[in-house]
Amino acid sequence: MHNQSISELGQALRDKKISSVELTQYFLDRIKRHASLNSFITVTEELALQQAQAADQLLASGQARALTGIPLAQKDIFCMNGVKTTCGSKMLDNFIAPYDATVIKQFNAAGAVTLGKLNMDEFAMGSSNETSFYGAVQNPWNTDTVPGGSSGGSAAAVAARLTPAASGTDTGGSIRQPAALCGITGLKPTYGRISRYGMIAYASSLDQGGPMARSAEDAALLLQVMAGFDEKDSTSADQPVPDYLAELNKPLQGLKIGLPQEFFTADLDSDIAAAVETAVAEYKKLGAEVKDVSLPNLKLAIPAYYVIASAECSANLSRFDGVRFGYRCDNPEDLTDLYTRSRGEAFGQEVKRRILMGTYALSAGYYDAYYLKAQKVRRLISNDFKQALSEVDVIMGPVSPSTAFAIGEKSGDPIQMYLSDIYTVAVNLAGLPGMSIPAGLVDNKPVGLHIIGDYFAEARLLNIAHQYQHVTDWHTQCPPGFE
């Protein structure tokens, strides 16, 4: 049952081979059995079974939609009415959200069942899911290694078949990098395609929600529900939502693929480079053409990203002050002591580091030297992608310079951790859609293929991914012990 796709599970529900209550209980039992992965922060068992009962009534009345009765899990960055929403932080350990994020509301309207809230790096700041207040998540492919971050709980839960699919968010690679390291499909849509209302902010001009699933077809089903204009989000794009399933089977004859020379440097593991080249060769067999392209300013993406993201995080996290909601220190002497101790005791080391970096970059005398210059570099990077995508349909390359690394291996070296996102952050700076699909194993650890498209080209990316998954079986591989 846990190896079936969302489409197969939906058909089984409609054919009354299984009820949503039975299916939900099956996954709840599986979550308990594999609790050692630490992929969930909160399991909403009672709510899930209530939603499943309601879904069974809809199925019986013939009013079911594609996700009706399907159990899913949500990254713990989306507010969910009446449910603890922590963002992986001690700061929000006691916060019960009083409303639903738009994404949650859309899943509820579609009749989906919520199994629980997934573990993540604190306030989405991390590339390994080790900064969570609730402890590190284990990668099901090798439990001594990280699942990637910040959506590591989502990636691990989908890979281990604890949920058919999950939501994630991507600020600098936080859907794509864990998807690559856990061997699943993850899509970061165009900035503005999915509402950010009710999604706790890290860096507002970069954050974007998206689907994480085992296949491109399943990701398309989730995106169909998640996408759309939302008047409650001022950055939401007022663009029509296409039928993402309609184009999945479109042939790839004549597809132009660009390979940026800057992706294939000495920093990239040679086995990962070989896996990417093998995947590109499969696309050639499907009728695609390959061309070399250049992204000359890619080397500036990491410093520009960490200046901009840290600056925005220092502004967004100023609301967590111990006054209105969240953690509050005991017996403060005065207001200054309340602010200082509440923030000092509740934020983790990585969050503090980024707040300090961001506050410094925005301070008088340094704004022009750092933040303004980083925004100018951002424009150059965006222009590079614009030029490259005028020559080709999509850009391909690696997602991560290495496979999953050992838990604790990079936690003492922030620079090495930041470099884990060297191939992903530029896509967020440009606001483009990008996705990771499974493309092989190196030493029994998954490798992801990065596919980057033009603005609002999610349907095309899903089509390209689906056609590859039609002729390969990497996306069906299951971690040993979770079959």
Using left for φ > 0, alpha for ψ between -120 and 50, and beta otherwise, residue 16 falls in left
Instruction: Using DSSP, state whether 457 is helix, strand or coil.
Output: coil
Cα–Cα distance measured from residue 456 to residue 238, given in angstroms and rounded to the nearest whole number: 11
Cα–Cα distance measured from residue 289 to residue 379, given in angstroms and rounded to the nearest whole number: 28
Neighbouring CB atoms inside 10 A of 259's CB total 19
Alpha helical stretches, state H, 61-98? none
- The DSSP code for 194 is B
- In 3D space, the residue among 138, 135, 134, 158 whose CA is nearest the CA of residue 148 turns out to be 138
Cα–Cα distance measured from residue 161 to residue 27, given in angstroms and rounded to the nearest whole number: 8
Q: Catalytic: which of 20, 75, 154, 195? A: 75
314 tagged catalytic: no
Cα–Cα distance measured from residue 35 to residue 124, given in angstroms and rounded to the nearest whole number: 22
Q: Catalytic: which of 174, 236, 402, 436? A: 174
84 tagged catalytic: no
For residue 117, give both structure tokens: 């809230």
Half-sphere exposure of 86 (CA within 13 A, CB side): 22
C-alpha distances in Å from residue 15, one per residue of 12, 60, 65, 66, 431: 5, 10, 14, 13, 41
Q: Which residues contact 55 (CB under 8 A, 6 or more apart)?
A: 13, 20, 64, 68, 69, 111, 112, 113
Phi, psi of 422 (to 5 degrees): -60, -30
Q: Catalytic: which of 19, 39, 150, 436? A: 150
373 tagged catalytic: no
Residues assigned a catalytic role: 75, 150, 174
